Amino acid sequence: MAKILITGIAGLLGSHFSRYLLAKGYKVTGIDDFSGGYKENLPDGVFCSTLNLADFDAVDNFFNEERFDYVYHFAAYAAEGLSPFIRTFNYTNNVIASANLITASINYGVKKFIFTSSNGVYGEDNLPPFNENMIPKPIDPYGIAKYAVEMDLKNARSQFGLNYSIIRPHNVIGIYQNIWDKYRNVVGIWIRQTLHNEPLTVYGDGLQKRAFSDMVYYNEPFEQLMTEFNGEIFNLGADKEITLIDCAKLVQKCASNFGFKPEIIHLEPRVEAKYAYADHTKAKKLLGFEDKTDLEKTINEMFSWAIKQPDRRVKTMKYETIKNLYSYWKQ
């Protein structure tokens, strides 16, 4: 039976997709260093090697022992706004770690490598809705890291015949999302703030537009990419965009179902794309992708799940520079 590796298996995408594959009878193994995901997110009975993908030898040894057929590379630290302040960590964790995995996939005969890049590669010069034919112009180290890995995969295919697919997701939400990280996952941050009886914080005027999608709609196209298409890039996500202020109001509405009444406060704006949403025509046409996200329903599900989780310590990162760091991240 084919052996499938999922990196970042304890994170949002990994925990959902591993459950989906296991339910369909696939043999799944995980890698995670639990820097951003939690053991409680792992599906029952799955083997997860606790290793840091930035460690070349550890990755090489694991591949030598396990001989995977397919690799889903989800592991990353996806804190786009923070990435200029943790530049070296960002490139180590998101580029070097990916390079180690790509080399091992070349050396140990992986049949297909599926990589989650990001909408962050499109940058500011490209106007949304972003489509896959636009030339990426990332504006921050996170987007640059994702684009570097995309280009590295292109080289690995042309020089070593490694098959790959690239997915560019955006604003995926759902249960198992890390809500204890103050630098990323805006809906998760608002849920955690609600549960801590804190106000919901909005950067700037809140008129930034994003399109949030429920993770459950990603599983089928992810599976399809295991064996279909080679060297192709697909945007995946919701078509329907919403301003962040309207989304915060929706979180307020859902919070009231659980007995909370958080207020909304505005903080200093940060460097980020004002409008970031994508065109999914290609995925709809070639993968039959259909996003049916009901945002209110998903947020309510996340609340129901979040109130049952341990009250974890909020994550803080070691900054590599504090120049121009936003006031709210200095605390």
Ligand X SMILES: NC(=O)c1ccc[n+]([C@@H]2O[C@H](COP(=O)([O-])OP(=O)(O)OC[C@H]3O[C@@H](n4cnc5c(N)ncnc54)[C@H](O)[C@@H]3O)[C@@H](O)[C@H]2O)c1
- Interface residue list for ligand X (CB under 6 A): 8, 10-14, 31-37, 52-54, 74-78, 93, 97, 116, 118, 169-172, 178
| Smallest distance from ligand X to CB 263, Å | 26
Specify the residue, 54 or 144, whose C-beta has the smaller distance to ligand X: 54
Specify the residue, 76 or 248, whose C-beta has the smaller distance to ligand X: 76
| Smallest distance from ligand X to CB 261, Å | 27
Positions marked catalytic: 142
Which residue in the shown chain puts its C-beta closest to ligand X? 11
Coil, strand or helix: which one is 209? strand
Specify the residue, 33 or 303, whose C-beta has the smaller distance to ligand X: 33
| Smallest distance from ligand X to CB 327, Å | 25
Specify the residue, 250 or 260, whose C-beta has the smaller distance to ligand X: 250
Tell me the residue type at 190: W
Q: What is the spatial distance between Cα 202 and Cα 194, in angstroms, rounded to a whole number?
A: 13
Specify the residue, 18 or 178, whose C-beta has the smaller distance to ligand X: 178
Cα→Cα distances 256→177, 190, 293, 295, Å: 21, 13, 21, 16
Specify the residue, 36 or 84, whose C-beta has the smaller distance to ligand X: 36
Task: State how beta strands 242-243 and 209-210 pair.
Answer: antiparallel
Cα→Cα distances 84→91, 140, 319, Å: 10, 6, 9
Alpha helices in the chain (DSSP H): 12-23, 56-66, 87-91, 97-107, 141-160, 186-195, 219-224, 244-257, 281-287, 295-306, 327-330
Q: Is 178 within 8 Å of 215 (Cβ atoms)?
A: no
H-helix or E-strand spanning residue 235: strand 232-236
| Smallest distance from ligand X to CB 143, Å | 10
Q: What is the spatial distance between Cα 103 and Cα 60, in angstroms, rounded to a whole number?
A: 8
CA-angle at 231, arms to 137 and 8, nearest 5°: 75
| Smallest distance from ligand X to CB 125, Å | 19
Tell me the residue type at 305: W
| Smallest distance from ligand X to CB 136, Å | 14
